[in-house]
Amino acid sequence: MLRPILVLIVLIILIVMLLKKLWEKLFNLPSYDGQSPKNKSRSSGQVIDISDLSFNISDIKILKRDYLLTAKELSMFHHLSNLLTDHDYLLAPKIPLSALLIIPETAANRIELQNRLKTQYVDYLICERSTLKPLMLVFIFSDNDSKRDRSSNKFSYRVALAADMTAVLLNVDDEREKDNLASQLKERGII
């Protein structure tokens, strides 16, 4: 009675092993040889170049920008540059916000936040010339910006403040805000 059950169990195990090998062969999967992936040598496999697999670049019309900044952005850049002329600071436009922040591994929704930060940037970064230590982040918006762009800038501004960074959010269409920028830089000890 026990013997037919054992034979059946062994037969089922053999069939499962055979199906597994067949599956690996059909889908070119590596078979498990008892080693963990960390113990395997990196040189054991063939390198596959996937750079051309996602899309054909020759089919896409890619254009270069004529200018890095729009006319309003350039005007604000020159305004800030003039304010910082007599000081040992560096003014950098369009810096990725993700380059300035570290999201702790314990943060809730860490991956989503990192992905969102990849698309955000600081309009102007004021930093120490010698160390490149960030001192102040300047985010700008215009009355003509879409609701989405404004929301994005406000999000970036709030994230910078949450990270205890000195930041300002300015409307480039309001001359009073541009004029007020010098006093904000003085308040923060930058000029």
DSSP characters over 34-100: S--GGGS-GGGS-----TTTS--GGGS-----S-SS-HHHHHHHHHHHHHTTTSSEEEEEEEEGGGT
Q: Which CATH number covers residue 113?
A: 3.90.1570
Mean pLDDT for the stretch of residues 159-166: 94
Q: What is the total count of domains within the chain?
A: 1
Paired residues of 92 in beta bridges = 125
Please give the pLDDT value at position 59.
77
pLDDT grade, residue 31 (50/70/90)?
low
- Identify which has the larger pLDDT, 97 or 25: 97
Please give the pLDDT value at position 54.
66
- Identify which has the larger pLDDT, 64 or 2: 64
The number of helices, as runs of H, and strands, as runs of E, in the chain is 5, 4
- Listed range (13-22, 26-35, 64-73, 175-184) with the worst mean pLDDT: 26-35
Please give the pLDDT value at position 177.
87
Contact 157, 140 (CB under 8 A): no
Residue 53 lies in a domain: no
74: its two tokens:
């350039």
- Given a cut of 60, whether residue 30 has pLDDT beyond it is no
Residue 25 lies in a domain: no
pLDDT grade, residue 53 (50/70/90)?
low
Mean pLDDT for the stretch of residues 135-163: 92
Please give the pLDDT value at position 49.
66
Residue 38 lies in a domain: no
Q: What mean pLDDT value characterizes the chain? A: 85
Residue 99 lies in a domain: yes
Residue 61 lies in a domain: no
Residue 160 lies in a domain: yes
Please give the pLDDT value at position 42.
52
Residue 47 lies in a domain: no
Residue 92 lies in a domain: yes
Question: Could you say which DSSP state residue 150 is in?
Answer: H
Residue ranges making up the domain that contains 82: 71-187
- Given a cut of 90, whether residue 41 has pLDDT beyond it is no
pLDDT grade, residue 88 (50/70/90)?
very high
